[in-house]
Structure 1
Amino acid sequence: MAAQSKLSEVAFKCTCQEFVHPWTSSCACAMAGMLLSLIPGTFRTYSMVYLFSLAMRMRIPSLKDLKNTLLSTLQSTAFLSLNGSLFVLAICLVRQFLGGFYFATATWVPALLVSSLSLVVERPERRAPLAMYVANVGVETLWKMLEARGLVRSIPNGQVLIMGASLTALMYLYRAGLHKTVAKDATFKGLGLIVGKEEEGPLQTSILNTSRRPRPPRLNIRCISSNLLIYDKLMALKHPSCPHKHGCALYALLGGLKPFLGGVGLQVGLKLLLNIPKIFQLKMQWRQQIFNKGSLQLGLALGIFSLLFKSTSCALRHSFGYDKAIFAIPAGLMGSIGLLHFPNTTVSLYLMFKSLQLLYNWGVSQGKVPEVPNFSLIMYGFFTSVLCHSTVLEAQSMRPSYYKFIETISGGRLSRFNMKSFEAFGVHSQDQANQVIKKLGIVATSAYPLFPLIV
């Protein structure tokens, strides 16, 4: 206990210079140096994001489009640069106000104070997507932090269960026609490509089929003509309430084939795009990168989902004699079997938050749940605090790509933070940071970060 108390005293008495800016004694210079380092990196990042968004419109941009793209890039650059630089200053100010560092005030509280304030600088239409993205990464990070403490445990294919339940909720909104009113979102355009426009709501008036069908004549299965007749009947079999033109069997088979080909084409196209330098250098390993089972994962997931969703929906329409939006729930859950071929955590969390957001909007419109003012700001602030805390004090819980991104745009500052004084916190912050730095191959080529502004 005496040793623990001594370590706690060391952590409390640690100065902000020892912790976040050992190369300069001035907190103002530390903030200014961070700001100067962030501007080029964030500008490059947002330039690529907005140019890609412009290219996705598939038309020649006008001067107004180019002007709006430039202004949006500058505004987003200002937002993220301000967020990072104020975070460093807030660490120093909180320490001076409290007289020292506690576990929660080392990074979590400073990030909470400045993140929501910084988001106000961003364009209003960008705030909700940013909050969604940060929440996506934040939930994954928070889960890993709890898992490291033994408080939770991951289950096999847990991300598939999340993805399946989220897709099922989105499909219900799509079939109910709510995507045109209270749950408008671009995600439904993608769902329309997967399951087709035939399943789009709102549904037509339900048709209840109560007429008795005449008993079909007996067929001799040994006769070729009888087998052909059975095949034709199966291909043409369709319930009056089914929204498609062709038979249900053909509708389901083609509905599975198109997303399969689209998914394979998309996955192969992305791999080719990411390996353009290797292709021009004739160093592309085609067998390992393209011609493998991994290139089929997305296609199989989308194809099987669509096939099972459509076949289950048609089976339910045949069984009950009418069509209902609620049929999307068993059909979506059945189609989720195909998602086992693409167990992606990032996509699962994105779909989870997107479905929760749209269900929340629907609940607000119905008066079933209260509307929370500035919910995007609150969510962004909370999960940004989680990410800042994890990136600095529990680096192994953070996505390696996110850690490297912060290290790059901060001009090499993150890897220079000194957490040795915080051993009393019991999470081995310095050891975690060292292991992540070694794993990512981060090597300091200079004694100082970019724009050190030494005083």
Structure 2
Amino acid sequence: MVQVQSKLIPIVVTCSEFAHPWTSSCLEAIAGCYLCALVESFRLYTTVYLLALLMKRKIPTKQDLKRTIGGILQSTAFLSGTGFGYSFFLCTLRRLLGNYNILTISAMPAFLASVFAILIERPSRRLLLCLYVSNVATETVWNMAVSRKMVHPVKHGSVTIFSICMAILLMYYKKGLHKNKDGTDDSMFSVLRFVVGPYEEKNYVARSTCSDTFYREHTNDPDSSGGGSWRTTTPNTTYHIVTRALRLYRKLIQKIKCLDRHIACPHPFSCIYYITQGAGTMFGVGLSIQLILNTVLNFKRLFTSPKAAVNTILFRKKNLSLALFLGGFSGIFRGICCLLRRSTGTDSPYHAIPAALLAGISFKKYPDTTVALYVMWKMAQITYNLGIDRGVLPQVPGFTMFLYCLSTAILFHAALLEPANLRLSYWKFLHTISAGRITCMNRVPLDKWGLETTKQLRAVLKGTNTDPIVKYYGGFGCS
């Protein structure tokens, strides 16, 4: 049985006994960690930046290529600098203090490494990095609290977080508070505009009335209905059946568009069409995304086992999860907003609160903790910026970088002491960037603090299929 000692009592071990048992040289360990992080970071960011370049769907200019190459090199320097700094401060603090304590075992070296590394990265990317690591760190802290019986898991907790935060964000959206100082939209509001539609924006009424009136007059005019273009002398063939079906579908859509629309509603055409069109469009988008992801993830199986791969890609119940969530959210939000406009006779930004809270129930079909926490942090960031703009909240210099460093320290602390509480995807990321070094650090001395660290490590290694083997580049490390 492992003897448990107070976490305030330091652990007296050397660097080679804990931090780098694969080599007795601190210098070799630091150089090896940096070189491996450099290679893996370059691979990662080359893929990321090239995909971003391809997604622009245009031939890149010389300036685009120059900017892409510069971004790859700068981001690579940032991430590899974190690996170098972590290894450097891990050994340096031990030499200065003569031992390891609960802070210097991982958290403090990670924090100090992040302070220097984040200064290398482009300022435009610092906020994105902060939001990501804060997202993962929040989940990690919650898992740590649950493992200590300090809190209990909340049923549908992610749905609750998502619904409340979306209600606040959509209220901002309807109030017209989604513009930055330079007149551009925050990326979150661009997503909201795509999901719930642009008509829920503030002061959209004037832009929709004319198109609605024109369409109703044009549709109800028998001379301009376009019905003659569908006439055909073709006999009753498959083509004739298809054209008749399309004509009936077109007439049905026209009838639905011309149904009742309340004067307070900012959208063109009828409320029924507005609701069904939004739900149907987003259902199709969600289904398409899921099928594309399944195809990419099972790309190799399409060649080795085509039949099994097709069944995995197409005939899966999970394929409908994202589609039902997106379609349900858009349809319910639009429907509740229209209902409230009819009930009150006016359009109010505060209609977004009950509409989003009810629409958020659809998140039960796709209860992703990562998505819920990302929305929460985006809401907090946007609210903080609005508070600064109105003079309600003080602007704290360097707060974004401090939050990034603190979150990174929490994640590295959990990776060393409590890996079972860390998100598995982040563990795999650390394993890749460190070339296996994160798994090979000797955690046996840490068991004295009573966290069952080695037991947690074995469970995580098994669950993620990661091997405790140090890879090496250029002779640094061992096979």
Query: TM-score of the superposition, structure 1-length normalised?
Result: 0.88
**Does residue 370 of the first structure (1) align with residue 394 of the second (2)?**
yes
Partner of 2:43: 44
Corresponding residue of 2:118: 119
Task: Provide the residue aligned with 1:14 in structure 2.
Answer: 13
Runs of at least 5 residues in structure 1 that lack an aligned partner in the other structure: 206-230
Q: Could you tell me how far apart the structure 2 residues matched to 1:7 and 1:258 are? A: 55
Which of the numbers 441, 444, 468 marks the counterpart of 1:417?
A: 441
CA contact (8 A) 1:412 1:450 kept: no
Q: Is 1:298 paired with 2:332?
A: no
SS of equivalent residue, structure 1 residue 106: coil
Partner Cα separation in structure 2 for residue 304 and residue 243 of structure 1: 21
The structure-2 alpha-carbon separation of the partners of 1:354 and 1:5, relative to structure 1 and needing over 3 Å to count, comes to closer
Counterpart Cα distance in 1 of 2:438 and 2:412 = 11
* Correspondence for 2:234: none
Is the aligned partner of 1:238 residue 2:261? yes
Q: Can you list the C-alpha shifts for 1:273-296, whole angstroms capped at 9, x where unaligned? A: 222222233444322332122111
CA separation in 2, counterparts of 1:348 and 1:16? Answer: 39
Does the CA-based 8 Å contact 2:298-2:309 persist in structure 1? no
Aligned counterpart in structure 2 of residue 260 of structure 1, from 283, 289, 300: 283
> Residues 235 and 331 from structure 1, CA distance in 2 versus in 1: closer, same or farther, beyond 3 angstroms?
farther
Q: CA, structure 1 residues 4+293, in 2 after alignment: closer, same or farther (shift >3 Å)?
A: closer
Q: How does 1:176-255 map to 2 (within 5 A)?
A: 176-181=175-180, 184-202=185-203, 236-255=259-278
- Give 1:273-312 correspondences, 5 Å limit: 273-283=296-306, 284-312=308-336
Identity among equivalent pairs (%): 36
Range with greater deviation from structure 2 (272-281 or 27-36): 272-281
Give the AA of the match of 2:179: K
Going from structure 1 to structure 2, the CA distance change for 1:7 and 1:113 (only over 3 Å counts) comes to closer
Shift of the 175–113 alpha-carbon distance from structure 1 to 2, 3 Å rule, reads same
Q: Which residue of 2 aligns with 1:313?
A: 337
Please tell me whether residue 400 in structure 1 is matched to residue 424 in structure 2.
yes
Shift of residue 425, structure 1, vs aligned partner = 1.1
* Superposed CA offset, 1:149-186 (max 9, x none): 11111111111111111222221121111112458311
In the TM superposition, residue 449 of structure 1 has moved relative to its aligned partner by 4.8
- Deviation, 1:384, is 0.1
> Which residue in 1 is equivalent to 2:232?
none
For 2:335 and 2:6, the matched residues in 1 are separated by 67
Q: For residues 92 and 37 of structure 1, what CA distance do their matches in structure 2 show? A: 18
Question: Contact conserved, 1:301 with 1:338, CA < 8 A, in 2?
Answer: yes
Letter of the 1:30 partner, please give it.
Answer: A
Which residue of 2 is the match for residue 271 of structure 1? 294
Q: Provide Cα deviations, 1:399-455, integer angstroms capped at 9, x if missing partner.
A: 222212211221221111001112221111122112212222233567x75556479
Letter in 2 for 1:161: T
C-alpha separation between the residues in 2 aligned to 1:439 and 1:99?
Answer: 35
Assess, with a 3 A threshold, how the Cα gap between structure 1 residues 7 and 383 changes in structure 2: closer, same or farther: closer
Gap runs ≥5 in structure 2: 207-253
Is 1:130–2:129 an aligned residue pair?
yes
1:200-254 Cα shifts (integer Å, max 9, x gaps):
224559xxxxxxxxxxxxxxxxxxxxxxxxx979962211121111111221121
1:55 is matched by which residue type in structure 2?
Answer: L
Paired with 1:47 and 1:168, the residues of 2 have a C-alpha distance of 37
CA shift in 2, pair 1:161/1:131, >3 Å: same
Query: Are 2:371 and 1:347 aligned?
Result: yes
* CA distance, structure 2, for counterparts of residue 289 and residue 149 of structure 1: 40
Look up the equivalent residue of 1:318 and give its one-letter code. Answer: R
Q: Identify if the C-alpha distance between structure 1 residues 434 and 451 changes in structure 2 by more than 3 Å, giving closer, same or farther.
A: farther
Tell whether the 8 Å contact from 2:131 to 2:377 is kept in structure 1 after alignment.
yes
Could you tell me which amino acid in structure 1 is paired with residue 188 of structure 2? T
What is the aligned residue count? 427
Paired letter, 1:309: F
Tell me the SS of whatever aligns to 2:30: helix
Does the 8 Å contact 2:302/2:310 carry over to 1? no
Q: Separation in 1 of the partners of 2:424 and 2:398?
A: 31
CA RMSD of aligned residues (A): 2.4
Alignment of 1:141-180 (within 5 A): 141-180=140-179
Matching residue of 1:57: 56
Please say if residues 175 and 203 of structure 1, whose CA atoms lie closer than 8 Å, have aligned partners that are also in contact.
Answer: no
CA distance in 2, matches of 1:324, 1:136: 32
Any conservation in 1 of the 2:174–2:200 contact (CA below 8 Å)?
yes
- Using the alignment, how far apart are the partners of 2:284 and 2:409 within structure 1? 41
- 8 Å Cα contact 1:46-1:76 kept in structure 2: yes
1:323 and 1:37, CA in 2 relative to 1: closer, same or farther beyond 3 A? same
What is the rounded CA distance, in whole Å, between the counterparts of 1:318 and 1:122 in structure 2? Answer: 50
Aligned partners of 2:138, 2:50: CA distance in 1, in Å? 29
Partner of 2:56: helix, strand, or coil?
coil
SS state of the match for residue 367, structure 1?
coil
Output the amino acid matched with 1:164.
S
Following the alignment from structure 1 to structure 2, what is the Cα–Cα distance between the partners of residues 62 and 232?
48
Counterpart residue number, 1:324 = 348
